[in-house]
Chains A and B, each alone.
Chain A
Amino acid sequence: MPEPTRIAPPAGPTDPPPPAELPPPVFLTALQRGLPGTIEKLSYWVGDWTAILPAARLIEVATHLRDAPGALFNFCSDVTASDWPPRAKRFDVIYCLYSTTLRHRVRLKVQAGDGEAVPTVTGVWPSANWLEREVFDLFGIPFEGHPDLRRILMPDDWQGHPQRKDYPLEGPGELLIEDPVDWLRVRHAREIE
């Protein structure tokens, strides 16, 4: 198994700003005009545009992007999260949106700290229901206003949130013995008792 060659954990996502000669798409400039002060930062990488915004303004921006005539993002492709432990607000909640009519994509990013709730977008896109449940289950980010917030992939009484970076890959407290000889030794020792 290759060991990850990370030396220090990265401090956060790169979120590179768009190149100066590339204007943002029309719906993003319309959003910045229509709801001034909501977008903290715009990012562009390999053809994708991402808008970073505070959690408090998420619902307004989501509703605007769904309904504005130049945007029409009616399809919520994905709601997911990333864990960046060194950062104070360790989680990034990412919303991947698509418009079936205008055929363009955009991503929204919201930062949340450990235990901080993020407002739910199930009122805007019902497809976010299970997607947010999965983020809650695997990362532990509660979604305020979610109609059915409970675990979805892990068993209902599971402790801990597996996708966090500080959760071990092998699982909680299980004795991970790789060599069968050691396993037999442990079993032998248990049988003697």
Chain B
Amino acid sequence: MFDTNELVINMGPQHPSTHGVLRVVLRLDGERVIEAKVVIGYLHRGIEKLCEHRDWGQIVLITDRMDYVAAASNNLGYCETVEKLMSLEVPPRAQYIRTILAELQRIASHCLWLGTHAMDIGAMTVFLYAFRERELILDLFEEYCGARLTYNAMRIGGLPLDIPPRWDAKVRAFCDILDTKVDEYEELLTHNRIWLERTRGVGVIGAAEAIAIGLSGPALRGSAVPRDIRKDEPYAAYADFAFDVPIGDAGDTYDRYLVRIEEFRQSTRIIRQALDGLPEGPILGKVPRLIKPPAGETYHAIESPKGELGYFIVSDGKSNVPYRFRVRPPSFCNLQALPRLVKGHLVADVVALIGSIDIVLGEVDR
């Protein structure tokens, strides 16, 4: 029986606030959401199948394109998985530089998140401020590897390029700038009455339910779950650095916002430690000319800015291409929680929650 108060509205794949080609079909009772159905697949490019026909080295380029906001993290996850399969050792200098790139990438991704999330909620100024800092990071990456978005910054066994001269001074200067800018963002939003009204109590999810539904990354940590792969299963050079993992309280949008703001500060902390302790040495390990991991399969995960980015790779030991290439995308698994989070909230909160979960459609659809 069709209730006369119920309305089915389509937040179509083309929408300024869905952060990409995401379609959400909302069943509304007036302004309240009764049910949300998420439809994805508009950006499906068949990356997993494509990578079964590409060289191990070529796949690094393809991984850039999945979470295109944080490309170096994807590269890192893939390279580490193949290095695990091949039991390859990466020289310490490369590990440190990889950590610096990954943390710069985390800041860049969070800048984009903050800008778009705040803009969706209405705080337009923050968008421009956050992108101004993201531009600084993109300039650093451009100086390092020549690209602003899809870096191809890592190779199996290390890095292709050493850091340019005086790049570390620029990164240090950037970290100093960013710390003052994060204070600026906080001044605009954290105690802002409108921000609090729009984000407090929106999309509350408890710890056990968040784990069960598959959330990871800052979205999970906002629900008071102390889970961070950098601490639990350290990779790259994270074991050498002291940093805190911010945890939320109530599991609402405001807590997820606070977690990511604090992650800005912790990232600059890690970068400074890495630059201080940067060892000398080679940047590429002993890699055979033709990369052919021995037959076997493995799963390896890293903490990308969005959550647990995992790679499940099967090698058959004979081809120069992987047999099965599977990416466990954090945005895909986090987006599953959207129908549960959005129930009972207003339409405007749907927009806030899509931003709060922080998705990139390139990763959701691959």
- A residues near B (Cβ < 8 Å) are 1-2, 4-7, 10, 13-14, 16, 45-48, 74-78, 80, 82-83, 94, 96, 100, 103, 105, 107, 125-131, 134, 138, 151-155, 162-163, 167, 169
B328: chain A residues at CB < 8 Å are 77-78, 80, 96
A76: chain B residues at CB < 8 Å are 214
- Assuming A6-B316, A96-B310, A100-B211, is B301 touching A46 (CB within 8 A)? no
Give the Cβ gap from A104 to chain B, nearest Cβ, in Å. Answer: 9
Is there contact, CB below 8 Å, between B213 and A130?
no
A14: chain B residues at CB < 8 Å are 295-297, 317
B227: chain A residues at CB < 8 Å are 100
Given contacts A94-B312, A127-B336, 13 further A-B contacts (CB under 8 A): A5-B320, A75-B216, A77-B301, A77-B308, A78-B326, A80-B328, A96-B310, A126-B213, A127-B212, A127-B214, A152-B41, A155-B41, A163-B49
- Cβ < 8 Å to A, chain B residues 282-306: 295-299, 301
Is there contact, CB below 8 Å, between B336 and A130?
yes
Cross-chain pairs A/B with CB under 8 angstroms, 22 sampled: A2-B55, A2-B321, A4-B52, A5-B320, A6-B318, A45-B298, A48-B299, A74-B211, A74-B212, A76-B214, A77-B310, A78-B312, A82-B314, A96-B312, A107-B299, A126-B214, A129-B336, A130-B332, A153-B365, A163-B48, A169-B50, A169-B52
Is there contact, CB below 8 Å, between B41 and A5?
no
A-B interface, 5 closest residue pairs, ranked by CB to CB distance from nearest: A127-B214, A153-B41, A78-B328, A10-B316, A153-B44
Determine the interface band of chain B, counting residues with CB < 8 A from chain A. 35 or more
Q: Complex Cα distance A192/B52, Å?
A: 40
- Assuming A96-B328, A100-B211, is B46 touching A162 (CB within 8 A)? yes
Q: Quick check: is B333 within 8 A (CB to CB) of the other chain?
A: yes
- B residues near A (Cβ < 8 Å) are 40-41, 44, 46, 48-50, 52-55, 58, 84-85, 87, 208, 211-214, 216, 225, 227, 232-233, 295-299, 301, 308, 310, 312, 314, 316-321, 323-324, 326, 328, 332-333, 335-336, 365-366
A6: chain B residues at CB < 8 Å are 316, 318-319
B295: chain A residues at CB < 8 Å are 10, 14
A16: chain B residues at CB < 8 Å are 296
Give the Cβ gap from B307 to chain A, nearest Cβ, in Å. Answer: 11
Q: Complex Cα distance A14/B293, Å?
A: 13
- Assuming A74-B211, A153-B40, is B320 touching A46 (CB within 8 A)? no
- Assuming A1-B53, A10-B323, is B365 touching A45 (CB within 8 A)? no
Give the Cβ gap from A139 to chain B, nearest Cβ, in Å. Answer: 11
B85: chain A residues at CB < 8 Å are 46
Nearest CB in chain B to that of A94: its residue: B312
Is there contact, CB below 8 Å, between B320 and A105?
no
B318: chain A residues at CB < 8 Å are 5-7, 10
Q: Complex Cα distance A77/B333, Å?
A: 9
Is there contact, CB below 8 Å, between B324 and A46?
no
Nearest CB in chain B to that of A105: its residue: B299
Q: Complex Cα distance A78/B325, Å?
A: 13
B312: chain A residues at CB < 8 Å are 78, 80, 94, 96
Give the Cβ gap from A99 to chain B, nearest Cβ, in Å. Answer: 10
Q: Complex Cα distance A162/B44, Å?
A: 12
Q: Complex Cα distance A153/B43, Å?
A: 9
Q: Complex Cα distance A155/B233, Å?
A: 37
A152: chain B residues at CB < 8 Å are 40-41
Is there contact, CB below 8 Å, between B87 and A46?
yes
Give the Cβ gap from B130 to chain A, nearest Cβ, in Å. Answer: 30
Give the Cβ gap from B208 to chain A, nearest Cβ, in Å. Answer: 8
Q: Complex Cα distance A45/B312, Å?
A: 13
Nearest CB in chain B to that of A131: its residue: B333
A5: chain B residues at CB < 8 Å are 318-320
Give the Cβ gap from B30 to chain A, nearest Cβ, in Å. Answer: 26
Q: Complex Cα distance A76/B84, Å?
A: 21
A153: chain B residues at CB < 8 Å are 40-41, 44, 365-366
Q: Complex Cα distance A130/B216, Å?
A: 15
Among B214, B310, B318, chain A packs the most CB atoms within 10 A around the CB of B214
Is there contact, CB below 8 Å, between A82 and B214?
no
Give the Cβ gap from A74 to chain B, nearest Cβ, in Å. Answer: 5
